Amino acid sequence: MTKRTLDGFIPSDLLHDIARLNPNASLSFIATILETQKIAQAAASGRIPYRFAAGKAERQIYDAKNTTRLPGTRARFEGDKATGDKTTDNAYDYHGGMRDFLKQEFGWNSIDGNGMNLVGTVHYGRNYNNAFWNGSSMTYGDGDGVIFVTFVTANVVGHELAHGVTEHTSGLDYYGESGALNESFSDVMGACYEQWLNKETVDKAHWLIGKGIFGPTIKGVALRSMIAPGTAYNDPKLGKDPQPDHYSKLYRGSGDNGGVHINSGIPNKAFALFANAVGGHSWKEPAHIWWESNCGTNRVTGRASIADFARKTVENCNTMAPALVAKLKKAWDDVGIKV
Active site residues: 160, 261
Q: 154-167 vs 285-295: helix axis angle to the nearest 10? A: 40
Phi and psi of 63, rounded to 5°? -120, 120
Residues 268/159, Cβ–Cβ less than 8 Å: no
Instruction: Tell me whether residue 175 is exposed, middle or buried, using C-beta atoms within 10 angstroms of its C-beta: 0 to 12, 13 to 18, 19 or more.
Output: buried
SS3 of residue 132 by DSSP = strand
**Length of the chain (residues):** 339
Phi and psi of 327, rounded to 5°? -65, -35
SS3 of residue 144 by DSSP = coil
Q: 306-320 vs 325-334: helix axis angle to the nearest 10? A: 160
Residues 109/169, Cβ–Cβ less than 8 Å: no
Compute the distance between CA of residue 73 and CA of residue 190 in angstroms, rounded to an integer: 27
Tally of CB atoms within 10 A around 68: 17
Compute the distance between CA of residue 9 and CA of residue 45 in angstroms, rounded to an integer: 21
Compute the distance between CA of residue 312 and CA of residue 67 in angstroms, rounded to an integer: 44
CA 8 vs CA 11, 57, 191, 220, 243: distances in Å: 6, 23, 18, 20, 18
